Amino acid sequence: DGGITQSPKYLFRKEGQNVTLSCEQNLNHDAMYWYRQDPGQGLRLIYYSQIVNDFQKGDIAEGYSVSREKKESFPLTVTSAQKNPTAFYLCASRDALWGSNTEAFFGQGTRLTVV
């Protein structure tokens, strides 16, 4: 089945540790996105990538890092510099033909808890 997969669904980490969230898509989409969702704050953009080997900071990139070495993968690392990492993280992708604004498809999300 085509889709976008995030793993794991739940993740627990100790404070001060880096953690990497996985996002894989087999939709052949060029663009991929990472959002953070906190109660009452909607979806805030962390990083996005329009093409392999290129990515841009979103609105809340501090304390996060990404890579885009393959078209189908866009892992997000939550570093120890992120002050409040506990949140629900959503990955999305879309078909990004130049000049088109297509719909975004979301993964199931990863709920990260840092203790």
Partner 1 sequence: GQQVMQIPQYQHVQEGEDFTTYCNSSTTLSNIQWYKQRPGGHPVFLIQLVKSGEVKKQKRLTFQFGEAKKNSSLHITATQTTDVGTYFCAGYSAGGTSYGKLTFGQGTILTVHP
Residue 14 is classified by DSSP as -
Q: Segment near partner 1 (CB under 8 A), from 11-19, 50-58, 66-74, 79-87?
A: 50-58
Q: How far apart are CA 104 and CA 106, in angstroms?
A: 6
Cα 96 from chain centroid (whole Å): 17
Q: Segment near partner 1 (CB under 8 A), from 20-28, 64-72, 76-84, 101-109?
A: 101-109
Q: How far is the CB of 35 from partner 1 (least distance, A)?
A: 7
Three-class secondary structure of residue 31 per DSSP = strand
Residue 69 is classified by DSSP as S
The footprint of partner 1 (CB under 8 A) covers 31, 33, 35, 40-45, 48, 50, 56, 58-59, 90, 92, 94, 96, 101, 103-109
